[in-house]
Structure 1
Amino acid sequence: MAFLKEKKVHIARQVMSIRSSEKISLGYVKIYLTTQIENLKSKAKSMIPGIAREDVISSLFPLPPLAEQKRIVAAIEKMMPLCEKLGV
């Protein structure tokens, strides 16, 4: 995953982009998608593992209010050093 701040970029066929609005925290999007990557990869139907656009589009995306998204991100960022220290 990569997060870009440019307004326009050229992407290849094998790359998907997701645009957000001011009502969505990119940190929240990153955390949620990180938890879903293995699930999306497991749906791969070819010899080369990948994530199908249709699987991403049809995925349910829980979207709490922006303030709650920010609290979730802050809580996870606070715990990450401990998780890394424990090797989790």
Structure 2
Amino acid sequence: MAFVPLLWIGLIGLVIWAVIRLTHSSSAGASGPGRGWGGIEHRETPEEILDRRYASGEIDTDTYTETRERLAAHRSGPR
């Protein structure tokens, strides 16, 4: 009879631990897209987005090359 309260305390503690563990891992986003080390968000640069879209076949070579040149011109600024 003395162990029943300990069993309930252990069970409640296990449930609380599981909830904290599940919510912490989903909010930290360590394995989610766009997240870097330590849950710090990494925003893709326009070049990275362009590279990803070209690699996945969303855009063709001509569009990729033209857009890459526009981005390079934009990065260098007005002359």
- Taking structure 2 as the reference length, the TM-score comes to 0.25
Larger Rg: 2
| Greater helix content | 2
